[in-house]
Structure formats: structure tokens, C-alpha cells
Structure 1
Amino acid sequence: MSMVNNAHPGSSLILLNLIDRALVRRGKPIARAELLETLRPEFLPKSETGAKRFESNLDFWLEEGLWLQDSEGMIFAPPQASENDLPSRVLQLLIDNAATRSESAILDGTRTEPFLRAMTCLLAQRRYTFMGGESVSSFNAAEAVNSHLPGRELNESNELSTFLAYGEFLGFLEPIGKGYIVDPTLAIEPYLERIFEGGRVLPFRVFVERLGEYLPLLDEGGYRRLLEPCMENWKPDAPYEISAALSHALVRLESLFRLRLEKSSDDSLSMRLQLPNGVQRSVGEIQYRTEVAV
């Protein structure tokens, strides 16, 4: 049952946010019946379908491990959870849970994997980035994903809009006009501290490899290595090129004073960012900036 299918459990971002906020603010376990009674609107008990939808979404994320349930059925959020880190918690959960399944689950799984597959496909393309100049929306998302992943398509009627909403929520898509551009800046930012642990400067190739380990949807990541050979009607970037989506995110993080991108004196160690208007930028070293810009 796909997370991005709006007829299936786990698909409701409204309920996901509502339940998580209630559990985090509560700060202690709450009985299932009390949680249900507290959160659902007054008209919901009159609707059997609505009540079941609430519980099915609650159970989906309990099964995934986003929230915890003790032996007495009391439900609570993890101790360190906050209202502001829900997107990064959910994204990390999706990646961690996918890692516990078989390697082929990313290719053929039907629970959270359809989102990971489709977003990995979008991140590999130039067309819907700031460089590519086009936006992706529910009107063209079927072509954007399904034309490159035959046999692993998103369902046009039930999955496209939810997939895009989750893409924005998890930090891979940025709203522009009536659609989105592919931009993983917000998904990347929470991982910077861990990537640079033990130092503030890294060779750029090392940074890209580490980032791919944390976010396997990106360049050098495990999902990309699995899916790229399956993608049709698509041309891969050169080995020394960074994808347009990641290039944009890194330049954006530099403009936010989170990173500094430096050219190496040895071009053989550098990689090239792909930027709008055919511009390429050579980067050999990357620095994590912890100071706050004034």
C-alpha cells in the first residue's frame, strides 16, 4: 500500500502533522482512545470512513516507527522529537526502514518505496531544476517520472498530487508559480553537521560521497546507482559533473552562508557544478560554515 496513494494509509500530511504535533506537545504517553477523541473534529464520529482514515494513518506511522506504542497501548513521540524537525525525522525514517528491506525493495517495493523511487528519478533530471527552466506539477508529473521508469509508474489519478506534496514537505521540491522546481536544499541541510563531523573542510568528492550515504537519492547514493540503469529516455551526467539539482542546492547553501565552495589547485580532484545558462563551476574543496551571517 503506497504512502503516496491518497486512498491508502500514510498518505495524509494533514493527519501526520496533526498527530505528531499533539504527541510532541503532550510530552508523555497518551491512550489511543483519548488521542482519537482529542484530535478528530466533532463531525468525524458520524463518519465511519473518516474515523477509519484517522486510525489507518495513525497505525501506518506507528508501524513505520515514527511514534512509539508501549505494551499497554499508550502512544508517544520519541523523547528528542520537536515540532520543527518532523520532515527530517520522516525522511530519515523512510531511508532507515528501506535499508532494513531487501535491496530490490527500492526497485519494486510498494509501501514507502514509490516515493523514494519517483523522487530519485526527478533528482537525476535537469529539466525540472532551476537550470532546466521548467517546473513540475500534477499536470506533467506523470511524464516527468513515468516516462523514465516504465513498469514502476506512479498512478496518475491517486498518487501524483500526494507525491508532490510529500516532495515539498521533505525538502526536495520548492514551490514556484503553480508548480515546483527540484531543489533538495532543505533535505540536505540537517545532515551537514554529521557530514563534517571531525572537521570543517572536506575534499569535494568526499563530501559528495558522504552526502550520498546519508541521502541515497542524491549523486553517488545507493538509490541512484540502482535506478539510473533502469531509467529510459534519459542521459546521465558525466562522471565529473554534479547533477543540476544538487548543484543548485549547494550554491544556495553557499548563499545562505552554510557552505563555502572552493576551487582546487589540482583540477584532477575537482568536480563541476551545473548552473543556469550553461555555466559550469569547478569545485575541489568544501567548507562547513558554522558562523551566523549578519
Structure 2
Amino acid sequence: MSMINNAHPGSSLVLLNLIDRVLLRKNKLVSRTELLEVLRPELLPKLSPKKKKDDEVDEVDDSDGTAMRRFEWNLDFWLKEGLWLQDDAGMISVSSGATQRNLPERVLELIIDNAKSQTDQEILDEKNTEPFFRAMTCLLVQQSYTFMGGETVLPGKNGSAQKAVNRWLPGERSLNLSNELPTFLQYGDFLGFLEPFGSGYIVDPTRAIEPYLKVVFASESKLSLNIFIERLAEKLPLLDGGRFRRLLEPMMEELGWSPREVHQVSPSLSHALVRLESAFRLRLDQASDDNSSMQLQLPEGKHRFVSEVVYLSEVNA
């Protein structure tokens, strides 16, 4: 069942944040019974879906117990994925180093790690967390919905989200307009791949990338841009050169997508790198005698050649 289908377990960002916050505040092993008592139905958000005009979702009362069932479904989904720990006695806790602030980072790292054991065909066809990976990878590939492309990903019946995603994911891989696309966009924002812009979203993976900078550089302070992108793709396979990109880009090309040149960085990653430089997290350099430099894509058809990436310490950030 798809994580991004709002009728399925794992889809509620409200409950994900709520359960995690309770576990963090308890700061101890918590029984399932205690969690159910703390988050009993009358305290839960009204999450029972009811279709309205234009495929929007309204909140209605919980007289049929839907909120409690959704709570248990979401709890069990993320326990199975491994976000929270559960011992043999059924006591639940958060992992070491967990904070309320790093929940998006923890969730993203978890679902990517869980996907590493899957076959390529499972990545392409399964319906757990895979629909998010497929749809977000397709968005990250395209220029249209970045700042330089000028278009926004708009939700709703007449929005651009369906075209932006399903144009490249036909058949059973496409996302449902009412149950999946809205939740997909919410997860894209939550996990740091999309930024709210006007009434929609712009594709911008800056927030998803930033937590990985330290581990990508390891003990080094400077990397060639090629090596930086390779290491980043190992951590975030939705980005340039990553496993998900290698699986989906050939399929998109068959459907009419034009691949970038080998020396070109994708528009979405280009924007993220420039934004990280503006935030003093990175410095992008061009060595005059370096033939291996790559081209960042910038607004208004401009570009910039970069050969080295310097990691600026958090003290100086």
C-alpha cells in the first residue's frame, strides 16, 4: 500500500509528527497501550476523508472510529519501516539522536536505506514507498518546475501536478489525482525536495541535500564536483547519477524527455548547489586548468562552470 495514498497506512504527516513528538517528549520506552491512551480518539485530528468538489479532502468527525484506526495503521507502518524501535515486550522508543527538528531527515534516510535491498523491478513496480521515489525522481529530472523553468507544480483537478508526474509514469505507475498526488506533494515538501511557491511548489532539493553534506565530504574539505555528485547520489539516489535516476531516465527518454549533456548538472541540483553556496554551506570554484569542470544550469539560459566544491564548516555557515 502506497505511503502517499491518503487512504493507506503511513500517509498521514499529521500522525507521523504527532507520534514522534509524543515519543520524544516521553524520552523513555512507551507501551502501545500508553500511546493509545495519550492519543485517544477525542484528542486526534479529524482525519476521516470525505470527498468535496475538485477532489479536495475535508475533515469530518470520528464517530465511526476512523481516527483511531488511522492512528494504529500509521503507527504500525512506521514501526515496520523501522522509524521507531519496538522491543520484544512491545515497548516503543525513538532512535538515538532523534529530535523533532531532524524527523524529515530521519524519515528520508530510513526509506532510502530500506530501498537498497530491493531489486530494480521492485523499485519500478512496488507500491509502498516506491511511488514517492518514482514520482519525485521524475520531477527532479525536469527543468520546467525549477526556478529557471518558471512553472510551478500546482495541485488540484486543473493543476499541473498530474501532467508533471504522470506524463512520465503511465499506467499503474501513475499517481491518482485525488488520493495520491496531494499527499505526494506534501511529502515532497516535508522531505525537502519541494518548496512552496505561490499556490503550488517549486522543485528544489536543497533541504534534502543539506544534512548529507558532512558525510559526503567525510574528513575532506574539498572535492571535485564529479566526486561530490557521485557521493551525493549514493546517499540520495533520486539525484543526478543515482540509482533511481538510472532506472527512470531511460524510460522518460522513450516518452520524449531529452537528457542533458554529460557535463551538465541538472537544473534542480544546480539550483540547490547555488543556494547552498548563498547560505555559506559550500563554495563552488572553477580551476582555470581543469578540463573536468561541469556546467551548472542557471535562470535565463545562463550557466556557470564549476570544478571543485569546498565544504564550509557549520561554524562559518
TM-score for both structures, normalised by structure 2: 0.90
- Residue 250 (structure 1) aligns with: 273
AA matched with 2:4: V
Structure 1, unaligned runs of 5 or more: none
Q: Does structure 1 conserve the Cα–Cα contact (< 8 Å) formed by 2:41 and 2:68? A: no
- The corresponding residue for 1:28 is 28
Deviations 1:21-67 (A, max 9, x none): 11112111111011011023426685322211110000000000000
**Structure 1 residue ranges, 4+ long, deviating more than 3 angstroms after superposition:** 43-47, 291-294
1:69, CA displacement in angstroms? Answer: 0.9
Pick aligned residue for 2:88 from 56, 71, 91: 71
User: Which runs of structure 2 are paired with 1:221-236 in the superposition (5 Å)?
Assistant: 221-231=242-252, 232-236=255-259
Within 5 A, what are the aligned runs for 1:1-294? 1-42=1-42, 46-138=63-155, 139-151=159-171, 152-231=173-252, 232-290=255-313, 292-293=315-316
Per-residue CA distance 1:61-114 (angstroms, 9 max, x = gap): 000000011111111111221111100000001100111222222111100000
Kindly provide the CA deviation profile for residues 114-170 of structure 1, in whole angstroms up to 9, marking residues without a partner as x. 000000000000000001011102121110010112231111121010000000000
Distance 1:292 1:43, change over 3 A: closer
CA drift at 1:293: 4.7
CA contact (8 A) 1:137 1:164 kept: no
**2-side partners of 1:79 and 1:257: how far apart?**
29
Q: Is the Cα contact below 8 Å between 1:257 and 1:292 reproduced in 2?
A: no
SS where residue 175 of structure 2 aligns? coil
**C-alpha distance 18-103 of structure 1, shift in aligned 2 (>3 A):** same
What displacement does 1:292 show?
3.9
Of 74-83 and 220-229, more deviation after overlay is shown by: 74-83
**Helix, strand or coil: the match of 2:116?**
helix
CA–CA distance in structure 1, aligned partners of residues 201 and 154 of structure 2: 6
For 2:43 and 2:192, locate their aligned partners in 1 and report how far apart those are by CA, in whole Å. 33
| 8 A Cα contact 1:262 1:284, kept in partner | yes
Q: Which stretch of structure 1 is more off in the superposition, 18-27 or 36-45?
A: 36-45
Equivalent residue of 1:100, what SS? coil
CA distance in 2, matches of 1:17, 1:3: 15
> What TM-score do you get using the length of structure 1 for normalisation?
0.97
How far, CA to CA, are the matches of 1:251 and 1:142 in structure 2? 28
Output the amino acid matched with 1:288: Y
Give the partner amino acid of 1:237. Answer: R
Q: Counterpart of 1:109 in structure 2: which amino acid?
A: E
Whether contact under 8 Å (2:161, 2:181) holds in the other structure is yes
Structural RMSD (CA): 1.4
User: Which amino acid is the alignment partner of residue 25 of structure 1?
Assistant: R
1:267 is displaced (CA, Å) by: 4.4
Query: Equivalent pairs: percent with the same residue?
Result: 61
Q: 1:125 corresponds to which letter in structure 2?
A: Q
Output the CA distance in 2 between the equivalents of 1:121 and 1:127: 11
CA distance in 2 between counterparts of 1:267 and 1:159 reads 46
CA contact (8 A) 1:147 1:233 kept: no
